[in-house]
Amino acid sequence: MWLMKLVSLTKLGKLKALMLILLISSTLSIAFTASSVKAQNSVDPRTVGLWHLDEIKPDGYRAVTPDASGRNPGILGVDPLPLLVEGKFGKALKFDGGNFVYVPISFLVGFPPSPQPIYIPISPNLDVQKEVKIEAWINVQAFTDATYNNIVVKCTRPDASWENITRVLGLAIRSGVPEDGLSVPQGALSGFVRTDEDGANEIVTTEPVITLNQWAHVEFTRTSTGMHIYVNGYEKSVRAIHGVQNPTGAIMNGTEVYFGHDSKVTIDEVQISNLAPDLQTAAAQIDIGPNLLVAVIAISTIFAVAWLLRRAIQMWVLRSKP
């Protein structure tokens, strides 16, 4: 009898050891999950997209460059694709005037036909409504004949036609080619927004600010004080050539974002940020999600281990009965 009890106690010891291993493993799993969530949220909550442009990854039939926020990978477009070259910080993408990076915001449904276009959201966080900042490091090799040598541009379209595309938001270099009788110096920077109240609005720097074959940090903001352009951290003098410098209304939604379109430029560290004053509150609310996920995993694990331990004790008691 004592031998049977010794065997039973030995089994119980093994079961307890097993439960302890499970509990430790679960705790480590929770810790790793929390660490993973923290890594995903390491990007500033105001950042809606951050593309380091230092990596090209195959993704099925296409090539993509990752978004550090994990939400909006950029798709490389048109052969030959943009080249991975030495950048301002590590690698960067070099554009030849014909290729680009494409980030879809919403998918336009073309069938069945409908009186109004139907959009399926893909990356709606890129549709910043109020206050926005676009920034990047650029090194321009030459100015192309296109009026706008785009750095970052958000567009919208009511159908699949390229002719019907409309520029909604962006930062570009003006090539010096006149448009609608307006003359803008070659090498001036342009920033623009289209709002639901004031339509199209564009500002340009009053003088050229881009020097070929030199790295520069460029930035465009639309805030409560209006539209502003900065180069290497310094605000530049601007004038409004379309609309007004401080338009009212919400920025219109788009269907896609492009980097480097119509430009011979190397681009590094593209970032789009939402500067809305109430974003901090929204971010705090959104942050509950990952925390809740960790809590659910922790509670579920504790209950699972407790159930297994209870079941093991029940089995030991039953087997220990004479």
259 and 116 housed in the same domain: yes
57 and 133 housed in the same domain: yes
Beta bridge partners of 149: 173
Strand 132-142 and strand 118-121: pairing? unpaired
Is the residue at 106 inside a domain? yes
297 and 239 housed in the same domain: no
Residue 197 CA to residue 145 CA, distance in Å, equals 32
- DSSP-assigned letters across all residues of 37-101: HHHHT-S-TTEEEEE-----EEETTEEEE--TTSS-PEEEESSSPPEEEE-SSSEEEEEESS-EE
Residue in this structure with the two tokens 């960790």, named with its chain if needed? 294
170 and 295 housed in the same domain: no
Residue 97 CA to residue 92 CA, distance in Å, equals 16
CATH number of the domain to which 180 belongs: 2.60.120.200
268 and 310 housed in the same domain: no
318 and 212 housed in the same domain: no
pLDDT the model gives residue 286: 39
157 and 295 housed in the same domain: no
**Roughly how many angstroms between the first and final C-alpha of the chain, as a whole number?**
9
315 and 211 housed in the same domain: no
Ranges of H-type helices in the chain: 2-40, 279-286, 288-320
Residue 93 CA to residue 101 CA, distance in Å, equals 9
179 and 232 housed in the same domain: yes
Reported for 274-280, long-range contacts at CB under 8 A and 24+ positions apart, including other chains, are: 274/46, 274/47, 274/48, 274/125, 274/128, 274/130, 274/131, 274/132, 275/46, 275/130, 275/131, 275/132, 275/133, 275/221, 275/223, 276/128, 276/129, 276/130, 276/131, 277/131, 279/45, 279/46, 280/45
The per-residue pLDDT for range 213-261, each reduced to its tens digit, is 999 999 999 999 999 999 999 999 999 999 999 999 999 999 999 999 9
pLDDT the model gives residue 215: 98
Is the residue at 38 inside a domain? no
Q: Angle of helix 279-286 relative to helix 288-320, nearest 10 degrees?
A: 10
Is the residue at 251 inside a domain? yes
Domain span at residue 295 reads 287-322
Residue in this structure with the two tokens 């509990």, named with its chain if needed? 23
Is the residue at 84 inside a domain? yes
Is the residue at 32 inside a domain? no
Contact 228, 240 (CB under 8 A): no
Residue 283 CA to residue 114 CA, distance in Å, equals 36
pLDDT the model gives residue 112: 62
pLDDT the model gives residue 196: 96
Is the residue at 5 inside a domain? no
Is the residue at 299 inside a domain? yes
Give the count of domains, the chain.
Answer: 2
321 and 221 housed in the same domain: no
pLDDT the model gives residue 1: 41
Is the residue at 282 inside a domain? no
Contact 177, 160 (CB under 8 A): no
99 and 123 housed in the same domain: yes
pLDDT tens for the chain, 322 residues long, are 433 333 343 444 544 444 443 344 344 333 433 333 343 456 788 999 999 999 999 999 899 999 998 999 999 999 999 999 999 999 999 999 999 999 999 987 766 666 777 788 889 999 999 999 999 999 999 999 999 999 999 999 887 766 788 999 999 999 998 887 888 999 999 999 999 999 999 999 999 999 999 999 999 999 999 999 999 999 999 999 999 999 999 999 999 999 999 999 999 999 999 998 664 444 433 333 334 334 434 444 444 444 455 555 555 444 554 4
pLDDT the model gives residue 40: 46
Residue 314 CA to residue 322 CA, distance in Å, equals 15
pLDDT the model gives residue 108: 78
163 and 304 housed in the same domain: no
